[in-house]
Amino acid sequence: MKKKLIIFIDSGDTIIDESTEIRDENGIVIHAKMIPGAENMLRTLYEEGYTIAMVADGEEQSFTNVYMENGLGHCFKTRSISEIVGEQKPSRKMFDDAMLKNNLTEEDKKRIIMIGNNVKKDILGANQYGITSVLIDWSPRYDMIPKNEEQTPNYIIHTPEELLPLVEKLNSKL
């Protein structure tokens, strides 16, 4: 059954463990492992009927390689990638692209959440765009302390598994 809540989600250190990335001579990721619990989280959300849109900074081929390797590319209805969009988060263009590709309107914003690991990109971008922000603070590589109100997430989770009950709770409120 299709769910009302729509999920925009980052990739690096949100689903994929950036510390495991292996890049080719052109800087394209050719191999990476998933964060523990992320594969189950992504598959479960997909199987439960959630619309999942990747909103991530990086190269399209890197994402294609990683999600093909891990067998999860089919979980994303759309992919808004900075290399293609031409700007990085927190640019509103990244979120506009995801909205357009998913045929969403201004009215739909109240049912969209953005999950990411970076307060200066994912959380700031989501908050400025007017959608619900969820910080996954799993990664040791990024500063998770908001510098201002705009970088403060609506919700904080510590592992991918914690996303599932939060998503169910937020979906039930719609």
Residue that is written with structure tokens 């990638």 in the block? 81
Residue 108 lies in a domain: yes
What is 69-113 written as a DSSP string? HTT-GGG-SEEEEHHHHSS-TT-HHHHHHHHHHTT--GGGGGGEE
Task: Give the confidence band of 18 by pLDDT, cuts at 50, 70, 90.
Answer: very high
Residue 122 lies in a domain: yes
Residue 51 lies in a domain: yes
57 lies in which domain range?
6-172
When divided into structural domains, the chain yields a total of 1
> Per DSSP, what are the bridge partners of residue 112?
6
pTM (2 decimals)?
0.97
CATH of the domain at 119: 3.40.50.1000
Residue 110 lies in a domain: yes
Residue 1 lies in a domain: no
Query: Whole-angstrom Cα distance, residue 29 to residue 63?
Result: 8
pLDDT in tens, 93-135: 999 999 999 999 999 999 999 999 999 999 999 999 999 999 9
pLDDT in tens, 45-66: 999 999 999 999 999 999 999 9
